[in-house]
């Protein structure tokens, strides 16, 4: 029903601007363009952990690949200087995750998203060449998932795929170099579904060029007939050589985040790393070797059971225990690692997932995803 209402809104807006386009014929016409930029997806780590737990597997760590390069190619019709209708093809990139489990095993998941969109685009002129943009529309995206498992993880459907229709929104700015060529910078949100029932969104920040087919080119100003002046030849002035601008600095590396289940690292309500937890940390340290990194941030999280002061102390002790182990056994430089605790203020579970407030076995098991240690590495290979 939501998609039907969006489609009706776009159709109504299109009919309205067609009826008014004759009053602004100079601002109407076809255009085409292309954008490229960075995409960022939401990956539901909590749902992955709960899915593995339902199969009797405990998740020790999850590494997300939630950023990629996106592009879109589009064309549209500008009915007047305020309203246009735009359709095109988009590729949001590929995203994925790797989850390590006990009993020992791994689950690798990847998804690619591409499809078509139809948007109503509003333009608000701010000056002669500078405008603000807003868009609302629908996207029909095909999600192609792939899953592989090793060890104790068994995948029954390795390559599911699905095509679905959702809404999309966006804002941006546009600068017109002339009547035919302009540059856009945009921020868009695509609502998407994957092939196994997950719902989320992908945010895209992009820039691109737009060409208006019928754009006016300025005609040369008329020249007045004047007497040709007598020119006395002079010695040519020396030519100035302007050095090229310096190359832009390389973009900083994207941080890498790894999440460890606190239940796999520690006994309940304890801050001493267990042998099973040392195996997971040793694997992380081996993966980190050969990487040039600037900083490592270790953050401990608890569930909401207990007082704020106690949870803050416990989460800090667990973060410090992981930090100390990575320095002593993993070879991480002590000057580049920091540890902190944030108690239960940043849960993975959503409100209403886990009922009750007393420390029952059912509540402790339900809140397992909230008890975790996150390690963020600012590094580049």
Q: Kindly report the backbone phi and psi dihedral angles of residue 221, in degrees, each rounded to the nearest multiple of 5, phi listed first.
A: -65, 145
Domain pair 2-212 / 256-380, same fold: no
pLDDT at position 6 is: 46
Q: Kindly report the backbone phi and psi dihedral angles of residue 81, in degrees, each rounded to the nearest multiple of 5, phi listed first.
A: -75, -5
- Provide the CATH topology of domain 256-380: 60s Ribosomal Protein L30; Chain: A; (3.30.1330)
pLDDT band at residue 235 under the 50/70/90 scheme: low
Say how far residue 79 (Cα) sits from the centre of its chain: 32
For 102-148, write each residue's pLDDT tens digit. 999 999 999 999 999 999 999 999 999 999 999 999 999 999 999 99
Residue 201 pairs with which residues in a beta bridge?
191
Domain borders along the chain are 2-212, 256-380
User: 2-212: which CATH number, 3.30.910.10, 2.40.160.20, 3.60.15.10, 1.10.540.10?
Assistant: 2.40.160.20
Mean model confidence pLDDT for the chain: 85
Decide: residue 210, CB within 10 A, 0-12 exposed, 13-18 middle, 19+ buried: buried
Tokens for 251, please give them: 């973009």
Tokens for 165, please give them: 């229709």
Tokens for 228, please give them: 């040709």
Q: Which residues of 79-113 are buried (b: 16+ CB within 10 A; e: fewer)?
A: bbebbbbbebebbbbbbbbbbbbbeebbbbbebbb
Residues 265 and 314: their CA atoms lie apart, in Å, by 13
Tokens for 70, please give them: 């996106």
Q: What percent of the chain has pLDDT over 70?
A: 83
pLDDT band at residue 255 under the 50/70/90 scheme: confident
For 185-216, write each residue's pLDDT tens digit. 999 999 998 888 888 899 999 999 999 997 55
Q: How large is the C-alpha radius of gyration of the chain?
A: 28
For 259-311, write each residue's pLDDT tens digit. 988 888 998 888 899 999 899 888 888 888 877 788 899 999 998 888 888 88
């Amino acid at each position: 029903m939501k998609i039907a209402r969006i489609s009706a809104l776009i159709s109504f807006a299109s009919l309205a601007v067609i009826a008014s386009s004759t009053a602004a014929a100079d601002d109407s016409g076809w255009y085409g363009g292309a954008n490229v930029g960075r995409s960022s997806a939401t990956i539901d780590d909590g749902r992955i952990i709960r899915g593995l737990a339902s199969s009797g597997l405990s998740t020790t760590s999850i590494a997300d690949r939630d950023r990629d390069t996106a592009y879109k190619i589009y064309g549209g019709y500008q009915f007047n200087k305020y309203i246009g209708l735009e359709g095109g093809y988009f590729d949001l990139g590929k995203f994925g995750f790797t989850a390590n489990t006990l009993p020992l095993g791994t689950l690798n998941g990847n998804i690619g998203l591409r499809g078509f969109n139809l948007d109503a685009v509003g333009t608000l002129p701010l000056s002669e060449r500078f405008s603000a943009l807003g868009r609302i529309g629908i996207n029909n995206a095909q999600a192609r998932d792939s899953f592989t498992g090793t060890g104790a993880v068994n995948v029954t459907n390795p390559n599911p795929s699905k095509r679905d229709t959702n809404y999309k929104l966006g804002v941006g700015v546009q600068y017109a170099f002339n009547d035919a060529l302009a540059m856009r910078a945009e921020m868009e949100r695509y609502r998407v579904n994957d092939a196994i029932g997950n719902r989320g969104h992908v945010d895209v920040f992009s820039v691109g060029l737009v060409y208006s087919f019928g754009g006016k080119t300025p005609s040369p100003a008329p020249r007045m007939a004047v007497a040709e002046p007598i020119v006395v030849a002079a010695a040519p002035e020396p030519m100035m050589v302007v050095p090229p601008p310096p190359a832009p600095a390389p973009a900083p590396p994207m941080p890498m985040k790894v999440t460890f289940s606190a239940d796999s690292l520690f006994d309940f309500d304890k801050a001493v790393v267990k042998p099973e937890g040392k195996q997971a940390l040793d694997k992380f340290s081996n993966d980190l070797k050969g990487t040039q990194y600037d900083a490592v941030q270790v953050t401990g999280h608890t569930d909401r059971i207990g007082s704020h002061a106690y949870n803050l102390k416990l989460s800090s002790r667990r973060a410090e225990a992981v930090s100390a182990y990575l320095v002593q056994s993993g070879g991480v430089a002590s000057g580049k690692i920091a540890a902190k605790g944030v108690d239960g203020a940043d849960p993975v579970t959503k409100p209403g997932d886990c009922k009750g407030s007393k420390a029952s076995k059912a509540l402790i098991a339900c809140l397992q995803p909230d008890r975790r240690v996150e390690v963020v590495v600012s590094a580049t290979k």
